[in-house]
Chain A
Amino acid sequence: MGFRDVLSPFTAWKHVIDTPVTIKNPIGREAAERYRGFHQNDVDKCIGCGSCEDICQNAAIDMVAFAEPKPGDSGLRPNIDYGRCCWCALCVDVCMTGSLTMSNEYTWVDSDPDAFRFTPGVDAKPWDDIEKGYQRAGERMLTGLARPEMVEMAPEARADNFDEIVAGYSREQAVLEADRCVECGLCVATCPAHMDIPDYIAAIREGDYDLGTQILYETNPFSEVCGRVCTHKCETVCAAAHEGEPIAIRWLKRHIIDNVSEERRLEIVGTPQVASSGRKVAVIGAGPAGLTTAYDLARSGHKVVVYEAKDQPGGMTRYGIPEYRLPYDALDRDINVIKAQGVEIKTGVRIGNDIALDKLKAENDAVVLAIGLHLGRSTRVPGSDGAGVEAAIDLLARVTAGEAVPVPEKVAVIGGGNVAMDIARTMGRLQMQKYGKVGVTVTALEDFDHFLADKEEVKESFEEQIEILDGRGPQEVVRFKSGKQKGMVKGLKTWKVVSIFDRDGRFAPQYDEGDEVVHEAEMVIEAIGQMADVSLLGAELTEALEWNRGRIAVDAEGRTSEAWLWAGGDAVRGPDVIHAVADGHRIAASVNVALMAGKEAGA
C-alpha cells in the first residue's frame, strides 16, 4: 500500500461536473420495439378459441361475451386482468389467429383498480393503434401447423378399380395430428350432430380407443361412414386452420373406429338397457337419418321397423357414394351395430307400392319419413329428353346394385358438386376397365374459386385424368341429325358463364354466347341436384301436409303438420350425411317424448 492508494480514490471527483446519471426519466420514455406492454386484440380476426386463456399461468385471462361475433367463432374475447398478468406473452405466442399482440406502451395511470381489467380491442385504449410492441416473429411455434400426410393410393393404381383410396392414419400419425388440437370446441358447436370432437381427439392421444368409440356413439351411430365421407363442417371453423391446416377431424374419427373391431364395438355400444315400452315406430328409408332415428328409438325401448325400398340398407351412403370413397363393408359394420339394438330392417319393401302408408299409420304409434333424394333433376336443355342422357344419382345407384350400365368412350357430365365428381370418377373407372383410358368431361357453372365440390374431390378427379371445365353452362344435348347414329347423343353444347346470380342473389345465369363449345360425348350425365320421390304419400296426404318450397315442412323437432308423421334427412334438409344423423337424433327425441307422454297419461 502506498501513497498512490491514498490519492487515487480522489479521481472520482472528475465526475463531479458530469450530468448526473440518475436523472433518466422513465415517464414518457418510449419502450423498445419488441417491448411487451399492454395487449392489443384484433377482435374481428380473433375467433375466441380461448387458447390464450388456457396457456395463461396466472389465470389473468378470462373469455367474456363479445357483441359482434362472426359465424364460427365462440362469441368470446379475452378479457385481461393486469393485476395478474406477468407480461410473459405466451398468450401472444399461442394465439391461433395471430390477432392478439402487445403494444410497447407500459405506463397507464388510473385511480380505479377495476380499470386495469379490460377486453383489448373492445374497450378502446390509447395504445390500440401503436404498431410497435411484441408480436410473434413468424408462424406459431407452440401448436403444430401441418397435418400428417394421408397415405392414398396412387392415381395409376386406383384408376381402374373401386378400392378405397384413403389408407387412414397410422397410430403415430393420428397421435401427431391429435396433438395439434387446442380443444377450443368451435367444431362441436359447428357439427350438426354436435359430436364431442375434442374429447375423442383426446382419447386418441391417450390411446384409449374404447373410450373414443363410446364418445363417438354418444352422438353418431354412423361414425365409420362419417369418418370417411363426412362433409366436415367442423374443419372449416377449426382454430388450427387460421395459420396452418385444420385438424383432420374426419380422419381422426375414422382412426378410432378403424382401431376397434366390430365385436368390440358391439360390446362397447351394448344393447338397449331399458324395458320395452310396447310402442311401435315405422321408419321409412334406411339411410343415415332413418337408421339414426331407429337406433335412438330402439335404445329407448321402442319397437322399430325400418322399411327400405332398395335391396340393401344405407340409403344414399350406399347408393350415392362410390365404393372407393366408402367401402360397403364399412357401411355394413355401422348398420350391424344399429341392427344389434333390435332394429328390424325390411329391405326391398317400397311403401306406397308394397305396403300402403295408411297401413303403417294404423299399425304404428308413429311414422318417420326419411326417404332421401333419389330422383335426379334435369337441366331440361334441348335434347335432354331421350336415350343417352342419364341422371347421375340413378347411374350411381345402378353401379352399386351391380347392374350393367352403358359405358361409352366419351362422357360429358353437367354439374360441379360432389355428385358430379362421384359419377365422373365412377365412369372414369369403368372406362378404364373397358377401354384402358378415361374420357370424361365435367362442365360446371361455377368457377374453380366457387366450386361446390370439395377441393380434394376436384384434385383427385384431375389426378384420375378427368377433364373439368369451370364456368360453362349447358345449352343443348347435341344429337346426330342423320345417318346410322341418327338421334343418338353427339355431344354437349355449352356457353361460357358470365355470372350465375342476379343482383338480388337469384339464380339467373348470364352467358357469353360467343364462347360456344360442343364437348364430344356419347352420353351426357346430369348431376345438378336431386329431389325426393314423394309419390308414396298419395294425393290425400300430399294435400293435407304443409310444404316448404317443394319439401315437406317440419318444425324444429322434425314434426310434420300431421301429428303421427315425422320427416327428416336429405328429403327435408338437403343432401348431407351428418345433417341427416343430426336430424335422426332430433326426430327420435321428439318421437320418444310423444310416445312416452302418451304412456304416462295411461293411453
Chain B
Amino acid sequence: MFSFNPDRSQYPDVGPDGKLEVDLETGKYLKLWHGPNHPGITGNMSVEITVDGDEVVEGKTHVGYLHRGFEKLMERRTFIQVFPIVCRVCVPEPDFNEYCYAAAVEELAGIEVPEQAQWIRTLILEMGRFNSYMMAMGGIAGALGSGVIGQWMTYVRDLMLDRFEEMTGARIYHMFILPGGVRAGLPEGFAGRMEEVLRTAEKYLADVDKVLFTNAVFKKRTKGVGYIDPALFEPYGVTGPNARAGGVAKDLRKDAPYLVYDQLDFEVVTETASDIWARAMVRRRDIDVSISLIRQILAKMPTEGPVMTALPNVLHWKIPRGETYIKGESSRGEYGYYLVTDGSGYPRRVNVRGPSYTHAMALLEHLIPGTNISDIAALMVSLHTYPPEIER
C-alpha cells in the first residue's frame, strides 16, 4: 500500500505468480500521463496511469514540478524575513501560512496579540476559505464539463479579492498577518461592501445549486464514485471536508478552537456517502458557514484598540530555543506549521503540514485503481488539493 519504487525500469510490479501484473507488451494496457499540464489536474502535478480500455488499473502520483525549497529558504531568513515567504507556500489560500507562522513565532517569542487583530485574522481566514471553496466549486464543475460554473465562481472570487485588496493592500499574497498582529484595521465602510459581495455570492451559489447540484449528469457521475472508506481516514491522515464527507465531524475550528472561533456560532458540516458528490456537497455547504462566519465577525468584532503589538527590533530578533506546532482548519483540512527555534536569529527548522500532501499523493494513488479514466479529473479535484503546499 505504501510501497514506493523510484526505479521506473522495474515497473510494473511482478505479481505473486512471477508474471508481470500489468504487461504492457500484451497491448492490453496503455500507459498515460495525466498532467502536469492538463486542464483537469489541480496545478503542477501529474498522475501516471495505466489503463485497460476505459478502466484505470493503476496510478502513480508524481510531484516535484513546483518545488521551490521554501522550508530551506526560511532557515536562511531572519524571523521577520520569513514573513513575506510563507504566503507563497500555498497560492490559492495563502493566509493560513501567514496565520500559522505568525502564531508559532508569537508563541515561542511570548508575544501577545491584540484582541482586534485576533478578529481580523479570523475574518481573513474565512475570506480565504471562501475563495478557496470558490475555486473548488469551479474546479469540480469544470472537471465534469460544466465550465460556466468555473466562470461564475471566478467572478465571485474576484469580488472577494477586491475586499482583500482594500483591506490588506494586495489581492493574492496579502502579507497582512505579521507576527504581533495585523498591519491595519478594517477600512472605512468595509462591512457594507463585504455584504454586497456576500449577497452576490449567495445569488450565484443559488444558481450553482440549480445547475450543478440539481443536475442529472453531475449526480450520475459523482454519486458512488471515488468512495473513500472512512477506515482509511486515520492511516492516510485524511482531514477536512474529505473526512467530513465520510461522516467524521472533524473540524479544528470546533475541536481545538483558535483565534476567536469559540465566540462564533456555527455547525460542523458533514455528509455520509464519502464519494465525490458528498465531498462537493460538504464544500458547498461549508461556503454557507463561511458566509455566516464573515457576517458574524463583522457584526461582533471590536473596532477600537490596537491591531499590532510592538515587536522587539526585528533586525536582530532572536527567539529562545523551543518548538511548537500551530494548526488550523483550512479549506482542505488540517494546515499546520511546525517551528523549531534554537535561540538564534533564524528558524532552525520550519515544516509545513499541508493537507494536500497526504490527499494528493498516497490517498489518490490508493483511490485510482478501478476508476474510469474519465473520472480521474473529477476524483482528483474532489480531493481539493493544492500542489504548492505539497512541495514546500
Q: Which of A78-98 contact B (CB under 8 A)?
A: 86-90, 93-94
Contact call A36/B311, Cβ cutoff below 8 A: no
CA distance A60 to B10 in the complex (A): 47
Interface size class of A (residues with CB under 8 A): 35 or more
**Closest Cβ of chain B: how far from A20's Cβ, in Å?**
9
**Closest Cβ of chain A: how far from B88's Cβ, in Å?**
8
CA distance A181 to B313 in the complex (A): 8
Q: Is residue B77 contacting chain A, with contact meaning CB distance below 8 A?
A: yes
Q: Which of B237-288 contact A (CB under 8 A)?
A: none
Quick one: CB contact mask for B75-109 with A, threshold 8 Å, 1 for yes?
00110111111000000000000000000000000
Q: Which of B146-180 contact A (CB under 8 A)?
A: 146, 148, 151-152, 154-155, 158, 162, 165-170, 173, 175, 178, 180
Chain B residue numbers with a CB within 8 Å of A35 are 165, 169-170
Q: Is residue B231 contacting chain A, with contact meaning CB distance below 8 A?
A: no
**Closest Cβ of chain B: how far from A103's Cβ, in Å?**
12
**Closest Cβ of chain A: how far from B171's Cβ, in Å?**
9
Chain A residue numbers with a CB within 8 Å of B170 are 35-36, 87
Known contacts A9-B211, A34-B169; decide if A205 and B84 are in contact (CB<8 Å): no
CA distance A23 to B170 in the complex (A): 21
Contact call B219/A1, Cβ cutoff below 8 A: yes
Known contacts A1-B216, A88-B84; decide if A143 and B165 are in contact (CB<8 Å): no
Chain B residue numbers with a CB within 8 Å of A36 are 169-170, 175
Contact call B216/A179, Cβ cutoff below 8 A: no
Q: Is residue B207 contacting chain A, with contact meaning CB distance below 8 A?
A: yes
- Of B78, B80, B173, B180, chain A has the most CB atoms within 10 Å of the CB of B80
Q: Is residue A180 contacting chain B, with contact meaning CB distance below 8 A?
A: yes
Q: Is residue B305 contacting chain A, with contact meaning CB distance below 8 A?
A: no
Chain A residue numbers with a CB within 8 Å of B312 are 144, 179
Contact call A21/B152, Cβ cutoff below 8 A: yes
Known contacts A1-B216, A88-B84, A141-B180; decide if A12 and B148 are in contact (CB<8 Å): yes
Residue ID in chain A nearest B155 by CB atoms? A21
Chain B residue numbers with a CB within 8 Å of A5 are 214-216, 219
**Closest Cβ of chain B: how far from A95's Cβ, in Å?**
12
Contact call B148/A205, Cβ cutoff below 8 A: no
Chain A residue numbers with a CB within 8 Å of B315 are 51, 54-55, 94, 142-143, 182-183
Q: Which of A26-56 contact B (CB under 8 A)?
A: 31-36, 51, 54-55
Residue ID in chain B nearest A5 by CB atoms? B216
CA distance A1 to B277 in the complex (A): 13
Q: Is residue B220 contacting chain A, with contact meaning CB distance below 8 A?
A: yes
Residue ID in chain A nearest B212 by CB atoms? A9
**Closest Cβ of chain B: how far from A372's Cβ, in Å?**
40
Q: Which of B182-214 contact A (CB under 8 A)?
A: 183-185, 187, 207, 210-212, 214
Q: Which of A371-394 contact B (CB under 8 A)?
A: none
**Closest Cβ of chain B: how far from A24's Cβ, in Å?**
7
Among B80, B214, B314, contact of A8 (Cβ-Cβ < 8 Å)? B214
Residue ID in chain A nearest B74 by CB atoms? A57
Among B83, B173, B217, B313, contact of A182 (Cβ-Cβ < 8 Å)? B313
Contact call A88/B166, Cβ cutoff below 8 A: no
Chain A residue numbers with a CB within 8 Å of B83 are 88, 90
Quick one: CB contact mask for A1-19 with B, threshold 8 Å, 1 for yes?
1001110110110010000
Contact call B214/A90, Cβ cutoff below 8 A: no
Among B210, B220, B313, contact of A11 (Cβ-Cβ < 8 Å)? B210
CA distance A54 to B85 in the complex (A): 16
Count of chain A to chain B residue pairs whose CB atoms are closer than 8 Å in the complex: 125
CA distance A9 to B315 in the complex (A): 57
Quick one: CB contact mask for A161-200 with B, threshold 8 Å, 1 for yes?
0000000000000000001111100000000000000000
**Closest Cβ of chain B: how far from A493's Cβ, in Å?**
53
Known contacts A34-B169, A34-B187, A137-B183; decide if A55 and B80 are in contact (CB<8 Å): yes
CA distance A184 to B166 in the complex (A): 34
Chain B residue numbers with a CB within 8 Å of A55 are 80-81, 314-315
CA distance A202 to B183 in the complex (A): 29
Q: Is residue A134 contacting chain B, with contact meaning CB distance below 8 A?
A: yes
CA distance A230 to B38 in the complex (A): 71
Chain B residue numbers with a CB within 8 Å of A304 are none
Contact call B169/A11, Cβ cutoff below 8 A: no
Contact call A57/B81, Cβ cutoff below 8 A: yes
Q: Which of A525-581 contact B (CB under 8 A)?
A: none
**Closest Cβ of chain B: how far from A574's Cβ, in Å?**
36
Contact call A90/B80, Cβ cutoff below 8 A: yes
Known contacts A57-B77, A134-B169; decide if A180 and B313 are in contact (CB<8 Å): yes
Q: Which of A53-89 contact B (CB under 8 A)?
A: 54-55, 57-58, 86-89
- Of B148, B166, B314, chain A has the most CB atoms within 10 Å of the CB of B314
CA distance A4 to B214 in the complex (A): 7
Among A9, A22, A31, contact of B151 (Cβ-Cβ < 8 Å)? A22
Chain B residue numbers with a CB within 8 Å of A94 are 314-315
Contact call A32/B313, Cβ cutoff below 8 A: no
Chain A residue numbers with a CB within 8 Å of B184 are 34, 137
Contact call A11/B211, Cβ cutoff below 8 A: yes
Chain B residue numbers with a CB within 8 Å of A22 are 151, 154-155
**Closest Cβ of chain B: how far from A405's Cβ, in Å?**
48
**Closest Cβ of chain A: how far from B168's Cβ, in Å?**
7
Residue ID in chain A nearest B318 by CB atoms? A205
- Of A24, A93, A94, chain B has the most CB atoms within 10 Å of the CB of A93
Chain A residue numbers with a CB within 8 Å of B158 are 21, 24
Known contacts A12-B211, A51-B315; decide if A144 and B310 are in contact (CB<8 Å): yes
Q: Is residue A145 contacting chain B, with contact meaning CB distance below 8 A?
A: yes
Contact call A90/B207, Cβ cutoff below 8 A: no
Chain B residue numbers with a CB within 8 Å of A182 are 313, 315
**Closest Cβ of chain A: how far from B278's Cβ, in Å?**
16
Known contacts A5-B215, A12-B207, A21-B152; decide if A89 and B313 are in contact (CB<8 Å): no
Chain A residue numbers with a CB within 8 Å of B220 are 1
Residue ID in chain B nearest A143 by CB atoms? B313
Q: Is residue B308 contacting chain A, with contact meaning CB distance below 8 A?
A: yes
Chain A residue numbers with a CB within 8 Å of B82 are 57
Chain A residue numbers with a CB within 8 Å of B207 are 11-12, 15
Contact call A9/B215, Cβ cutoff below 8 A: yes
Chain A residue numbers with a CB within 8 Å of B300 are none
Contact call B308/A141, Cβ cutoff below 8 A: yes
Q: Is residue B72 contacting chain A, with contact meaning CB distance below 8 A?
A: no
Q: Is residue B316 contacting chain A, with contact meaning CB distance below 8 A?
A: yes
CA distance A318 to B89 in the complex (A): 64
Among B85, B180, B314, contact of A143 (Cβ-Cβ < 8 Å)? B314
CA distance A88 to B211 in the complex (A): 40
CA distance A87 to B216 in the complex (A): 47
Chain A residue numbers with a CB within 8 Å of B173 are 86-87
Contact call A8/B215, Cβ cutoff below 8 A: yes
Chain B residue numbers with a CB within 8 Å of A93 are 178, 183
CA distance A44 to B155 in the complex (A): 44
Chain A residue numbers with a CB within 8 Å of B211 are 8-9, 11-12
Among B77, B80, B214, contact of A9 (Cβ-Cβ < 8 Å)? B214
Contact call B169/A32, Cβ cutoff below 8 A: yes
Quick one: CB contact mask for A465-507 with B, threshold 8 Å, 1 for yes?
0000000000000000000000000000000000000000000
CA distance A31 to B152 in the complex (A): 23
23 contacts between A and B (CB under 8 A): A4-B214, A5-B215, A8-B211, A9-B211, A9-B212, A9-B214, A12-B210, A21-B158, A24-B158, A32-B162, A32-B169, A34-B184, A36-B169, A55-B80, A55-B81, A57-B78, A57-B82, A87-B173, A93-B178, A141-B180, A141-B311, A142-B80, A144-B313
A interface with B by C-beta (< 8 Å): 1, 4-6, 8-9, 11-12, 15, 21-22, 24, 31-36, 51, 54-55, 57-58, 86-90, 93-94, 134, 137, 141-145, 179-183, 202, 205
Given contacts A9-B216, A34-B184, A55-B81, list 12 more A-B pairs with CB under 8 A.
Answer: A8-B211, A21-B151, A33-B166, A34-B166, A36-B169, A137-B308, A141-B180, A142-B80, A142-B313, A144-B313, A179-B316, A182-B315
The 7 closest A-B pairs by CB, nearest first: A88-B84, A57-B81, A21-B155, A8-B214, A34-B169, A5-B216, A32-B166
